[in-house]
Amino acid sequence: MKLKLDENLSRHLKSILLRLGHDTETVAEEGLLSRPDIEIGLAAKSAGRVLLTLDLEFGDLRRFPPGSHPGIVLFRPRSFGPLRVNDFVEQFVRETNLEELARCLTIVEPSRVRIRRPPIDQEAEQWKDIPM
């Protein structure tokens, strides 16, 4: 899987992800440090890479709707210490088929994973009430 590490994740994660078989680039390698989120998102999209991040702004469905990008995985660990975050991300990547998250917004928390998928019909509503 093609991945892009946002600047708020350790560059040391790159070697871990490469070892796990993922083609990984970092925002820093592309000279995108301190660039606006929309620029980071567009760079990931143009490279066809799923963005791994801690940045809550990427969870905004209005700015980054599912289906409009290769995928965003937003990590919400209990602790933001670099080693704990690295372990949290590594464990998720080891245990997850990332291909299934393509084009989705995925929010990874310690006790659950929430996935917002793109609508089957891009013009259809994402949520509908079904009468019972």
The answer to whether 107 touches 76, Cβ cutoff 8 Å, is yes
Distance (Å, rounded) from C-alpha 66 to C-alpha 75? 16
| Residue 127, pLDDT above cutoff 70 | no
- The number of C-alpha atoms within 13 Å of 78 and in the hemisphere containing its C-beta is 4
pLDDT in tens, 33-42: 999 999 999 9
For the chain, the structural domain boundaries read 2-116
pLDDT score, position 7: 95
Nearest to 40 by CA among 16, 14, 8: 8
pLDDT score, position 130: 41
pLDDT in tens, 42-61: 999 999 999 999 999 999 99
Segment among 30-34, 66-70, 80-84, 125-129 with least mean pLDDT: 125-129
pLDDT in tens, 76-125: 999 999 999 999 999 999 999 999 999 999 999 999 999 999 987 654 44
pLDDT score, position 43: 94
